[in-house]
Amino acid sequence: VNAIREWIARVVGVVLRRNRRIIEDELRTHRDLLIDELRASGMTVTEARHAAGATLGSLSAAANAYRDQSGLPALESWASDLRYSMRSLHRTPAAAASMVLVLGLGIGVSTAVATVLHALVWQPLPVPDSDHVVKLGAEFSGHFSRHVEGSEWFVSLPELDTFRQRVHALSTVAGVDEESLTWQHDGDARSVQGALVTPDYFTLLQVRPVMGRLLSAQDSDAPMTVVSYRFWADDLAGDPAVVGRSLVLGRTSYTIVGVMERTFSGTESEPVDVWLPLVATVRARGDAAALTEPDLSWLQFIGRLAPGASLASATAEANAIAAGLDRDDHPGRRMRMVVTRASRLALGSFQSHDRGTLIAGGAAAVLLIVVLLLICGSNVAALQLARGAAREKEFAVRIALGAGRGRLAQSIVAELSVIAASSALAGVAIAAGLLGILQRWLPLSEVVGTLTPDLRMLTFGIAYALLVTIIFGLAPVRQALRLDCLAGLKGMPGPMPAWRLRRILTAAQVAVSLALLSVSAWEGRGAEHAFRVSLGYSPTGLFIVQPDRASVPGGTPADLALFVDRLQDALRSTPGISAVGRTLIAPFWGSGTTRVQIDGGSEPVQVSFSEADETYFRALGITASVGRIPHPAEADAILVNAAFARRFWGTDAGALGHVVEVPYAATRHPMQIVGVIPEIHTISVGQPDPPIYYLPAVPNTETMQNLVVRAAGATPVPRLVSDATGLIARGTFVRVVPVTDRIHGQLTPAIMGATIAALIGVLSLFVAAVGIHGIVSHAVTTGTRDIGIRLALGASRIRILGSVIGPNLRSAAVGAVTCALALIACSLSASSAFRSVFLGLDPADPTPFLTAVLVLGVVICGAAYVPAQRALGVDPIDSLRRE
């Protein structure tokens, strides 16, 4: 307690600073009293003064001792050290700025990457007790037939009910069907994101309305809706009387019963605008059959773990029930359930072929953080060592003046703290700025809300920066203390630190920079290649026309088919439009796969499929390379692409006449190949379509909802479509998308990837340059005397330059060669993956890699040359005179 009182009093003393006056008064009194006493013993005034002075010694020393007790001397010495270090950093602004920048980039970039990664993958849903909310997905294998709407992972309503009744590890389950709906508003039609939910959805998630109420089991048959906070605030103008208002979605009017709380915007990646009761909405559409269909994947399956239940127990139970479903109704099928803790990342994103990409992406991000921090750390270390070497003389002077080991260390630590603190500030600023940029580029804010830098990563980054600066920053002090201070004063070099590790680090960071630069160059080249690549048809003037079913009068699949028929007819006779085709899957709108049997073979094989009428191919502008495109009347004729023909029969012509048994209208139907179309790109921009077959159009087919329109020049297709729609059925929402938009959309991730890779590449290049600059500076500073002697003995300046730069260039070359070998091995061993990631780029194309090597080489030579020039400027006489 007394110690605390003492420290409080000391702090007060520092603040008030009144003790200074008190002690002066007090010491004066002390002296006067002594003089009084001496005079009383018979001395004269002058004698007494002298005697008192001799006895008391220096009063200012006493005052200093008193001040040390009255304030916080340690703090005050730190403050003076900080002032000193500010001055010393100010003298070498380039080195100080480089260190701050390198560390700041390390902290900032790693924090931003970790934040995004965390928000996407691990951050739980913003709902109470989110640890217990899970997503369930189904995986099917073996022999089965199943209709998929959305994702293969989704389940049907009867399946959901089975799991609800039998899985005891889940206290509640709910299903969600997310789809885009047409909002009819002031004579305007707009697309909004809707979520059709089962009655338990809101109770499961324990979310609350900010206004009104949520949907419950009681109103599952009424057309009611809950709107999101964002939709209410932006689109309904924050109307305080919104509850009770109606909202026309499709052709149905829904009464708004409540507004959702601000933080919740759905359970999948797309933010939801309106929530609707599933059963009522589907019934109102005349789709009641979907509610009882057992083999339909259309509902996202979420659940809440019962008290005491775990992911493992829920998975085990769900799989036992899935096995029961297989046994009872689907012999030959194997259904497996996957249970994961619910985050915003859609469960569908973990589908078999994407899972690898996701995991690789995550691993790459983690690796990036580690590598970045290591590189930054090693470079700051190099800079610190170089700076320390340059300051040996200063340390020697301070030691000679009597500075102790601790005092010297304290002043260095103060200086390092300034660097670390500035880096931390820079890091926070860079992280915040980077997150801002990322949020503008990537549709992140809609998925995960506003991102704030991850505090744990930030703390770790700052701690790491502090540790690196202090460990390597103190090295010169150790050296200085070991040093003979006489030698230091003369400017003789201290012992050289071990550079072996440093060389390995140089090689490693050159390799990493080169790899990153190559990736960005490849992505850039791939995107450029994809723009130039021939799709097999011209995408310009080609439009996809897609009506929204819910907005079609009647709203049933048959009504939609009728509408599409009439729209197709209307557009056909419109001037400026040369062809209007119809297809199941529009260009660059995904793909469908199924299993077929070839020529009665027993083993089904997986291929892609679509449906298209003959005008679809005419709209694309392609004709059959062999055979012909079947007519709508030919019910048993089928068209395949060149990849299909070559996969099974080697040549295009070889396919004609063969029989493909395809799943069609719930039964297997044998079809004869009558034609083969040439290689085109309609799924991935960079790659030709995989083996695919096209079922011919059946008149009035209910599945083909997409029209593909070929228009000449500047035909205003969106306006023509809306005019035609107005004549057929007013208020129907029809989307018109140019195919070129889809292509751009597909290239965006590649361009973004290239940009991010380029940014990181440039960052690592910069860091590498700073590091090499630091090492060479150090070599020149410590080697000035050697260089002087060698010059005096007649060495040529070129040789000197070589000896200073050489070792660094050698380790850089080792890194470059290692990286090149690794990249060549990777690209050749995974050539098809390479093509798909880099948009069809040939892995053997050396241009991007050579560009990266050139850029890296120029930067590194430049970074090494600048300090090396100083070596050339060494005056032999001057350097020897220092002896």
Partner 1 sequence: MSQGTERTDVWQGTLALMVLTTLEAIGPQHGFGIARRIEQTSGNRLLVNPGTLYPTLLKLEQQGYLATEWGTSEHNRRARFYRLTAAGRRQVAKETREWTTATEIIANFLALRDAK
Residues in contact with partner 1 by CB under 8 A are 2-3, 5-6, 9-10, 13, 19, 22-23, 25-27, 29-30, 32-34, 36-37, 51, 55-57, 59, 61-62, 65-66, 68-70
User: Inter-axis angle of helices 311-329 and 157-166, to 10 degrees?
Assistant: 120
Distance CA 725, CA 566 (A): 9
Residue 550's nearest CA partner among 729, 717, 727 is 729
Please state the closest distance from residue 126 (CB atom) to partner 1, in A. Answer: 52
Distance CA 744, CA 448 (A): 24
Please say which residue, 23 or 227, places its beta carbon nearer to partner 1: 23
Please say which residue, 64 or 292, places its beta carbon nearer to partner 1: 64
Please state the closest distance from residue 5 (CB atom) to partner 1, in A. Answer: 5
Please state the closest distance from residue 8 (CB atom) to partner 1, in A. Answer: 8
Cα 25 to Cα 393, 574, 808, distances in angstroms:
44, 106, 66
Residue 293 and residue 156 in contact, taking contact as beta carbons nearer than 8 Å: yes
Please say which residue, 6 or 634, places its beta carbon nearer to partner 1: 6
- What is the residue type of 560? L
∠123-124-128 over CA atoms, to 5°? Answer: 140
Cα 253 to Cα 60, 185, 188, 194, 223, distances in angstroms:
91, 11, 15, 14, 7
Q: How many CA atoms lie within 13 A of 357 on its CB side?
A: 10
Please say which residue, 43 or 855, places its beta carbon nearer to partner 1: 43
Please say which residue, 63 or 121, places its beta carbon nearer to partner 1: 63
Please say which residue, 23 or 584, places its beta carbon nearer to partner 1: 23
Please state the closest distance from residue 42 (CB atom) to partner 1, in A. Answer: 13
Please state the closest distance from residue 54 (CB atom) to partner 1, in A. Answer: 9
> How many Cβ atoms sit within 10 Å of the Cβ of residue 94?
11
Please say which residue, 43 or 390, places its beta carbon nearer to partner 1: 43
Please say which residue, 11 or 370, places its beta carbon nearer to partner 1: 11
Please state the closest distance from residue 410 (CB atom) to partner 1, in A. Answer: 23
Please say which residue, 70 or 88, places its beta carbon nearer to partner 1: 70
Alpha helix locations (H) across 310-443? Answer: 311-329, 352-390, 392-400, 405-441
Please state the closest distance from residue 489 (CB atom) to partner 1, in A. Answer: 34
Distance CA 136, CA 697 (A): 36
Burial (CB count <10 Å: 0-12, 13-18, 19+), residue 430: buried
Please state the closest distance from residue 35 (CB atom) to partner 1, in A. Answer: 10
Residue 441 and residue 749 in contact, taking contact as beta carbons nearer than 8 Å: no
Residue 234 and residue 219 in contact, taking contact as beta carbons nearer than 8 Å: no
Please state the closest distance from residue 3 (CB atom) to partner 1, in A. Answer: 8
Please say which residue, 30 or 407, places its beta carbon nearer to partner 1: 30
Residues near 504 by beta carbon (within 8 Å), at least 6 away in sequence: 811
Residue 774 and residue 488 in contact, taking contact as beta carbons nearer than 8 Å: no
Burial (CB count <10 Å: 0-12, 13-18, 19+), residue 713: exposed
Please state the closest distance from residue 15 (CB atom) to partner 1, in A. Answer: 14
Please state the closest distance from residue 68 (CB atom) to partner 1, in A. Answer: 7
Please state the closest distance from residue 784 (CB atom) to partner 1, in A. Answer: 48
Please say which residue, 25 or 188, places its beta carbon nearer to partner 1: 25
Please state the closest distance from residue 404 (CB atom) to partner 1, in A. Answer: 20
> How many Cβ atoms sit within 10 Å of the Cβ of residue 631?
12
Residue 537 and residue 739 in contact, taking contact as beta carbons nearer than 8 Å: no
Bridge-based pairing of strands 706-711 and 637-641 is unpaired
Bridge-based pairing of strands 692-696 and 637-641 is antiparallel
| DSSP notation for 44-72 | -HHHHHHHHHHHH--HHHHHHHHHHHHS-
Cα 52 to Cα 29, 44, 61, 785, distances in angstroms:
12, 12, 15, 57
Question: Dihedral sign, CA of 761, 763, 767, 770?
Answer: positive
- What is the residue type of 497? P
Please state the closest distance from residue 76 (CB atom) to partner 1, in A. Answer: 16
Distance CA 875, CA 785 (A): 10
> How many Cβ atoms sit within 10 Å of the Cβ of residue 319?
15
| DSSP notation for 183-205 | EEETTEEEEEEEEEE-TTHHHHH
Please state the closest distance from residue 20 (CB atom) to partner 1, in A. Answer: 12
Please say which residue, 61 or 86, places its beta carbon nearer to partner 1: 61
Residues near 439 by beta carbon (within 8 Å), at least 6 away in sequence: 445, 450, 451
Please state the closest distance from residue 403 (CB atom) to partner 1, in A. Answer: 23
Please say which residue, 59 or 97, places its beta carbon nearer to partner 1: 59
Please say which residue, 52 or 424, places its beta carbon nearer to partner 1: 52
Please state the closest distance from residue 49 (CB atom) to partner 1, in A. Answer: 15
- What is the torsion angle, in degrees rounded to the nearest 10, for the CA atoms of residue 845, residue 846, residue 852 and residue 855? -130
- The neighbouring-strand residues paired with 608 are 593, 692
Please say which residue, 77 or 687, places its beta carbon nearer to partner 1: 77
- What is the residue type of 651? T
Q: Output b/e per residue, 848-877; b: 16+ Cβ within 10 A.
A: bbebbbebbbebbbebbeebbeebeebebe
Q: What is the DSSP letter of 658?
A: -
Please say which residue, 4 or 665, places its beta carbon nearer to partner 1: 4
Please say which residue, 2 or 602, places its beta carbon nearer to partner 1: 2
Please say which residue, 20 or 870, places its beta carbon nearer to partner 1: 20
Please state the closest distance from residue 406 (CB atom) to partner 1, in A. Answer: 21
